[in-house]
Structure 1
């Protein structure tokens, strides 16, 4: 009923061919599903049916989601970064349909999963014909859409370096499925061989804007358009009084000519370190666009009014969490933390006030460096430095 041996896949230096090969394997599994519909009424959950059901389960549980992630996390964001004109318009219309297909097919698969599991275990011989037909039809139209538009667009627009980038990401995703214990040391040693060549864009000192905050705004808007994963996430690095650095990821909540603002607990470790040394560094890394922005400067607290306004804008549960948690302080257990939250929730009501120990910080930039990945590690780096009169200078740095 089903050939359990897989055809040899193309190498990852041909990522579009790999994606099409995945489609071929999906079509085989869909054909097996349809054969099961006619097989079960006559033969029940016999050995052949159990093997077929197990094969379909194995593929859609372990492999199909990787194919979706290839498209959601790499292929579509990379296309959005390079598509222009008619290609950009086509992609804008088609990408949401493809992403919705993934969600719908995942939901349909859940309906089939239980039935196939029972068949594979020999516990039942029932398979919904309507569920199979909906699943097969949606997957088939989805693959045809990608093969007729998305794959040709990628083959036409991607450079060899971008193809290599896509293939490397797909290969890493599959390698992460599981590593035998005996191979862990080898994986650690192989880190030095992990490489990704960049080549999506360039950065020219004669084309960047005079004001680095306007340049940052431009790049941030492009990150939003490319649907970068959490474009507002930034690393905040601080230095304690003893000279030891620490860093963590926070979300920038505002940026303008005054600087970059985030909110936190004033008793947290980062706040204590900023009290000892009010200079810090921020880092935004947008891997989908092969870009990073490094920012250094002096940090100050936002005004009480500004912190109050932002606190009131947060969802109620987020306000309660900020009030209940003494960030960075030890606590005996998760249960104790939850108890703190419940106590605060009972006492605070629907409009809790901002606690005095919670508020904003703003980094006033003195140095901003824009980094654009380029081939062979020959990256573009443009740095701006604020002068005593408030103006900015800019220059290229060697990679």
Structure 2
């Protein structure tokens, strides 16, 4: 900033002399490279790590500051675009004019950003981050700048190690695909006594951290012959009764659940390096609950549920569209929930919380439901 402001004062007296050209070159070098990398540090590492770690007042403050910081990045990028062209002309000796208002606007925005970062963001990170998190953050910043990190390559998500053995997929040996984890830890004292409440706590943190589709879960079922299958569905409700989703009762999973009502759910939130495994017995929800959810859906989604015989073969997409149009013509704006469509609720018997750690030495805390309905928790080895 000082170099840019000094250049602004220098130009009216000396024009684009050698000193002015060197100053312009220095400003261009920094803001074309280092400043952009600094923005990426915040957007791709620092802020997401803080959002996954901050709690209480820190989380509230971060929720207020993060949008301001991101908007500041965009504003500084726009202001820099305005300054860049005249600076390039000065650096080449082809121009000698800078707008004082453009320089002032850019410098003011940059100074305000630095104050916010140093006063709040950086101090919060130093206070909240573990030594492992600080090391991972520093290594990610080094990789972004082409510097060999202090951590082993396997512990730096931003670094892709080159394959040294014959390729399997796109030049990458599948056995070498691994990321080491280090955002957080999980102890017996970290988790709540009630696993449903603990699930709610982690789910809220996943939403706060802007995890991609935190409500997406794998549902694994087994048919009458003991053959398993799994698919991704969206959880729609969870409470002390269990975990609820909606589907067609005549689908593959519906038929399998009739034959074997036990199932397993899996949530994986890579952004937080967490997964939750849930196992138990599945029952259909009451018709009133299925109605309530069905009629809360968009009308076209209701029609799609009516038109589709889920998991059944069909000749082509065109036939599906014909079926949809036919269902829409009958149902109109108020289609009725078909009897074969409704909810399933898994009553959990086992819930495991998994937090990724370095060197595959992960943290695992499992809750087991007892005969009286109470829960016992214990640590499992990774």
TM-score above 0.5: yes
Q: Aligned-residue CA RMSD in angstroms?
A: 3.9
Does structure 1 residue 226 correspond to structure 2 residue 194?
A: no
Q: Which runs of 5+ in 1 are unaligned?
A: 1-22, 30-63, 109-133, 176-181
SS in 1 for 2:309: coil
**Closer, same or farther: CA 85–246 of 1 in aligned 2, 3 Å:** closer
Q: 1:187 aligns with which of 149, 171, 177?
A: 171
- C-alpha distance after superposition, 1:158-193 (max 9, x if no partner): 421345578644446x99xxxxxx96646342x322
Task: Determine if contact 1:267/1:357 at 8 Å carries over to the other structure.
Answer: yes
In the superposition, the TM-score normalised over structure 2's length comes to 0.68
Task: Determine if contact 2:47/2:66 at 8 Å carries over to the other structure.
Answer: yes
Does structure 1 residue 359 correspond to structure 2 residue 342?
A: yes
Task: Show the counterpart of 2:92.
Answer: none
Q: How many pairs does the alignment contain?
A: 308
Q: 1:327 aligns with which of 310, 314, 322?
A: 310
Task: Determine if contact 1:161/1:198 at 8 Å carries over to the other structure.
Answer: no
- C-alpha distance after superposition, 1:349-399 (max 9, x if no partner): 111111111100000000111111122221111111111111111111111
Task: Show the counterpart of 2:50.
Answer: 79
SS in 2 for 1:344: helix
Distance 1:267 1:24 in 2: 64
- C-alpha distance after superposition, 1:332-357 (max 9, x if no partner): 22222122212222221111111111
Task: Show the counterpart of 1:381.
Answer: 364
Task: Determine if contact 2:157/2:180 at 8 Å carries over to the other structure.
Answer: no
SS in 2 for 1:313: coil
Distance 1:348 1:285 in 2: 37
In the superposition, the TM-score normalised over structure 1's length comes to 0.66
Q: 1:160 aligns with which of 129, 135, 140?
A: 135
Does structure 1 residue 93 correspond to structure 2 residue 68?
A: no
Task: Determine if contact 2:76/2:109 at 8 Å carries over to the other structure.
Answer: no
SS in 2 for 1:159: helix
SS in 2 for 1:320: helix
Task: Show the counterpart of 2:10.
Answer: none
Larger Rg belongs to:
2
SS in 2 for 1:359: strand
SS in 2 for 1:206: coil
Task: Show the counterpart of 1:397.
Answer: 380
Q: 2:321 aligns with which of 338, 353, 358?
A: 338
Per the TM alignment, residue 78 of structure 1 is displaced from its structure 2 partner at its CA by 1.7
Q: Which runs of 5+ in 2 are unaligned?
A: 1-26, 79-101, 144-155
Distance 1:247 1:205 in 2: 30
Task: Determine if contact 2:349/2:368 at 8 Å carries over to the other structure.
Answer: yes
Does structure 1 residue 287 correspond to structure 2 residue 270?
A: yes
Distance 1:101 1:318 in 2: 39
Distance 2:177 2:115 in 1: 30
What aligned pairs does 1:99-138 form with structure 2 within 5 A after superposition? Answer: none
